[in-house]
Amino acid sequence: MPVTRSQTAKLASEQRQETPNVDPNVVANVDANVVAVNNDLEKEVEDLRVKMRNMVAVNNDLVKENEDLRVKLSNVVADITQLREKVDSIAADQGAIKEVLTEVAVQRQAPETPFPLKSPAEMRHLESTITPDNQRSHVTEMSVILGQAHLRRSIRKVFSDEMIDAHNMDGTRGKSRLRNYPKIMECLLGGLCLPIKEEEEPVVIELQNEEMEPTVLDCDYTLNNTDSFLTVKWFRDDKTIYQWIRGSPPAPIPDYKNDIDSSYESSMDPNKRYSSLALINPTIDTTGDYKCVVQTGTETITVHQRVQVIDVRNYTLNLYHNKIHNETQLECKVSNVFPKPTLTITSNDEDVVKVVTNNPHHTFFLAFLLFPDV
Q: How confident is the model at residue 178 (pLDDT cuts 50, 70, 90)?
A: confident
What secondary structure letter does DSSP report for 157? G
> What percentage of the chain carries pLDDT values higher than 90?
13
Of 193, 220, 235, the one marking the end of a domain is 193
Q: How confident is the model at residue 360 (pLDDT cuts 50, 70, 90)?
A: very low
Domains in the chain: how many in total?
3
Are 305 and 209 contained in the same domain? yes
Q: What are phi and psi of 163, to 5 degrees?
A: -70, -35
Are 305 and 324 contained in the same domain? no
Greater confidence (355 vs 371) lies with: 355
How much is the pLDDT for 15? 56
Query: What is the residue-averaged pLDDT of the chain?
Result: 77
Are 233 and 280 contained in the same domain? yes
Q: Which domain holds residue 174?
A: 120-193
The pLDDT tens digits of the residues spanning 191-226 come to: 665 554 444 678 889 888 888 899 999 988 888 766
Give Cα separations from 238 to 103, 114, 221, 275, 280 (angstroms). Answer: 22, 17, 20, 18, 19
The pLDDT tens digits of the residues spanning 21-66 come to: 667 777 777 777 878 888 888 888 888 888 888 888 888 888 888 8
Does 14 map to a domain? no
Q: How confident is the model at residue 259 (pLDDT cuts 50, 70, 90)?
A: very high
Q: What is the CA radius of gyration of the chain?
A: 47
Helix (H) or strand (E) holding 305: strand 300-310
How much is the pLDDT for 371? 45
- Read off the CATH number of the domain in which 233 is found: 2.60.40.10
How much is the pLDDT for 2? 57
Are 293 and 233 contained in the same domain? yes
Does 45 map to a domain? no
Report whether pLDDT(17) > 80: no
- Mean predicted confidence (pLDDT) in 168-197: 77
* Number of residues that make up the chain: 374
Q: How far apart are CA 15 and CA 26, in angstroms?
A: 11
Q: How confident is the model at residue 312 (pLDDT cuts 50, 70, 90)?
A: confident
Are 302 and 337 contained in the same domain? no
Of 174, 193, 212, the one marking the end of a domain is 193
Of 273, 292, 311, the one marking the end of a domain is 311
